[in-house]
Structure 1
């Protein structure tokens, strides 16, 4: 009986050791990837000073900014994930939807984009490797990489259509979750304000990022747009809503727990449990065999 139990323990130990090895060697590279099924809505709210072109006066508005990002699961593969993103900035006036028709006076700006990122690094994919209908971005786009570092990163700014430097600023805490804070700054960059009107663009964004998953937990935007002569067209201050931040913290904590289970708990249980089972199995097999040998032979 001891021999049988010992063999069972040896088999279980081997299984646990293999699970531990997979947890160390395979799991990190497989689970630390942007998923190919993403359907995310992000809400920001705040205020804006907006030039009323009909009167030449500037009005202060309550605004909300909505971003909807969906992955193209069929086009995505093991290395690349394709996204379609729709954004909308509108004036809040009573019951206001996330976006309005282009003829609605409440609309400030709206846009659509299609882009692709590397599932491991979160960096935009080189334009030469993309289909014609996918825009060639550069740098990070909608998240940081897993295990983000306290260093500078390049982040794509779709207003000026080029990457800007996100410098690491500090480490902070949001609702008990540790985050790294990165800041981008752009000053008086030339842009097209629409209808071929030349303008200037200044922008400061603050990203609070969960370093383990690379998820953006909170974002604060301070942006100005003006005519070439300095006349201000838009002065915008928005940030993630409290509900958005709370949801992001909860999602990050769930994802961290899953990562820890696969990359820490499974290897730990595998190696320790596997080693104990193997040692126990060997001991039972050896003692079982000695017991058999020590039994006296029956006389006829």
Structure 2
């Protein structure tokens, strides 16, 4: 006895299940294509939008920068330079968010240099013999380039932002010369790229500022000459200053030296600044590099997969060639 499995009316086994499988694959493919479009859109948005929004000075900056070094200043009783003593310097820098806007940051900066004797405060009264220098400044800078912005729109009466860079470099700093503001001279000077150097695992560009025997107001109401050699260590992606050294001398008009000052960021300041900068770089790289890469590569892969699934195999049953119906084989 023989038995043949009955065929369907179209002469094939499982024809409908094959077509249904194709339909499921096609629907999944459409969904995958839609997901690929979403990823590609995310990639485009982060490339076109994120740098302009993220590569700006934030408006919540309220920082304290600490430096240390040595100083020798003129002894008023002898008229000669006194002994060298340890000094501490503190710079408090804060953005006025109410005066700032989407393009410009308005800053208030207070700086003091004091002799490190008897546990001094960050800044001292003008009559305190331990006070070396003290200054307060209000200025405005472009939130992208870091360059000074002039105009009464941002500054109080009598304030001047001056020229050049003030307290940071632009994002994506280059190996070139930048104008840099010198408060003692009241003018911008050249900050020339000198070399690369690694600080606490962070690669920096080092810029050199050299001033020699320039006429200046060396103290309030007192004219003389001023010399300075500064090295400014800048992390180029964020424009953050991770260290700054200053070797500075001031002289009276008759050539008498009244100040010999050396300063640099404290080790603790350098370590904290490097850690913050690493975090900032990681955040920028995530948004401006990693996310676009995931969007473009992942979107392209999903697009190809979706097209493959949506177009692979399967033909509607109605389009198949109708087979001749056969009678079941009976029992012989």
Q: Which residue of 1 aligns with 2:251?
A: 226
The alignment status of 1:59 with 2:106, answered yes or no, reads no
Unaligned runs of 5+ in 1: none
Cα offset for 1:31?
Answer: 1.3
Q: Which residue of 1 aligns with 2:285?
A: 260
TM-score, normalized by length of structure 2? 0.84
Q: Which residue of 2 aligns with 1:26?
A: 49
- Aligned CA-pair RMSD: 2.0
Q: Which residue of 2 aligns with 1:281?
A: 306
CA distance in 2 between counterparts of 1:149 and 1:128 reads 31
The alignment status of 1:164 with 2:189, answered yes or no, reads yes
Greater alpha carbon shift after TM alignment, 23-32 vs 216-225: 23-32
CA distance in 2 between counterparts of 1:46 and 1:113 reads 23
The alignment status of 1:122 with 2:110, answered yes or no, reads no
The structure 2 residue matched to 1:81, chosen from 97, 101, 105, is 105
Larger Rg: 2
The structure 1 residue matched to 2:96, chosen from 72, 91, 103, is 72
The alignment status of 1:177 with 2:190, answered yes or no, reads no
The structure 1 residue matched to 2:229, chosen from 204, 207, 224, is 204
Cα offset for 1:100?
Answer: 1.4
Cα offset for 1:140?
Answer: 0.5
Alignment partner of 2:84: what SS? strand
1:163-185: per-residue Cα shift (whole Å, max 9, x none)? 01011111111222211111101
1:107-161: per-residue Cα shift (whole Å, max 9, x none)? 1111111111111111111346644444231000001111111111110001111
Q: Which residue of 2 aligns with 1:217?
A: 242
Cα offset for 1:98?
Answer: 1.1
CA distance in 1 between counterparts of 2:142 and 2:61 reads 14
CA distance in 1 between counterparts of 2:300 and 2:30 reads 14
Greater alpha carbon shift after TM alignment, 127-136 vs 276-285: 127-136
Alignment partner of 2:249: what SS? strand
Contact 1:50/1:61 (8 A) holds in 2: no
TM-score, normalized by length of structure 1? 0.92
CA distance in 1 between counterparts of 2:129 and 2:214 reads 27
CA distance in 2 between counterparts of 1:2 and 1:81 reads 55
CA distance in 1 between counterparts of 2:234 and 2:258 reads 31
CA distance in 1 between counterparts of 2:71 and 2:25 reads 77
Question: For residues 2 and 195 of structure 1, do their structure 2 counterparts lie closer, same or farther at Cα, with a shift above 3 Å needed?
Answer: closer
Runs of 4+ in structure 1 deviating by more than 6 angstroms, as ranges, are none
CA distance in 2 between counterparts of 1:78 and 1:277 reads 38
The structure 1 residue matched to 2:128, chosen from 81, 98, 104, is 104
Contact 2:179/2:191 (8 A) holds in 1: yes
Alignment partner of 1:193: what SS? strand
